[in-house]
Amino acid sequence: MQLEQQLREQLRGKDILLMTHIVLGYPSFEVNREVIKQMVESGVDCIEMQIPFSEPMADGPVILKANQDSLAMGTRVDECFSFAAEITRQHNIPFLFMTYYNIIFKYGEEKFFEHAQECGITGLIVPDLPPEMGTSFLALAKSYQIAPILIFTPTSTDKRMRELEKYGNGFIYCVARRGVTGKKSSLDQEFNAYLQRCKNSTKLPLAVGFGIQSKEDIERLKGKADMAVIGSRTIQLVEAEGAEAVGQFIASLR
């Protein structure tokens, strides 16, 4: 089943979906297993698993540190594929990979897509690859039926949004504010106007991330977006209180 269809089916009877983010190998794959289990059991609808990269330019200090620590402990791309295959067999929700293009280029584009499909990945977020420079990437995404998730930002013009929409699939990731992940976003009137521009530019579901941290944030997105994305907050929880704190936090967002 393709990602967009999966998400639309999950939206039946729900005001908004919830997607979470983990960095693979941080603080360990064993902790990743427990965190994912708690997330799924607490009602998460989709999980974005980041293959760590040394220079994750879209990520703020929390996720940057997690990437660097995971790499320092020796995490490798093939380990991420093996882990993804295990996890997708255990949990019946969509799982995505998020990473940076250098990882895919070095691994080999077609080999990467082939292995991603084999291990049950349904979407791919690559924030540093403009679609105009990703002709072969997009062709492979279509061939292997893995949705290329494209990104709208507050600085995107209406024309640019409409152009990006032509290449995207699955959903559109709407960055809530300028800058990197982690800092709390102001979901004010300016943000509402931006989100309306996003909605006017695509028929795909809209996911909103960057600085979404609380039930209040998610409540304010209802009726305006299809999915809220929680990233840095769960990583901070694991660091401060351990994996067991994640389930209770996720449940509190519903």
Length reported for the chain? 254
**Which residue(s) pair with 230 in the sheet?**
20
Catalytic residues: 48, 59
> Would you state the structure tokens that stand for residue 110, as one six-digit string?
């077609």
| CB neighbour list of residue 156: distance below 8 Å, 6 or more residues apart | 164
- Could you tell me the CA-to-CA distances from 204 to 55, 141, 212 in Å, in that order? 29, 17, 21
ω into residue 148 within 30 of 0, thus cis? no
Amino acid at 237: L
Which uninterrupted H or E stretch holds 49? strand 46-50
Task: Give the residue from 13, 61, 79 showing the smallest Cα distance to 236.
Answer: 61
Nearest-angstrom CA–CA distance, 72 and 252: 33
Nearest-angstrom CA–CA distance, 221 and 100: 28
Nearest-angstrom CA–CA distance, 249 and 254: 10
Q: For tokens 């799982």, what's the residue?
A: 95
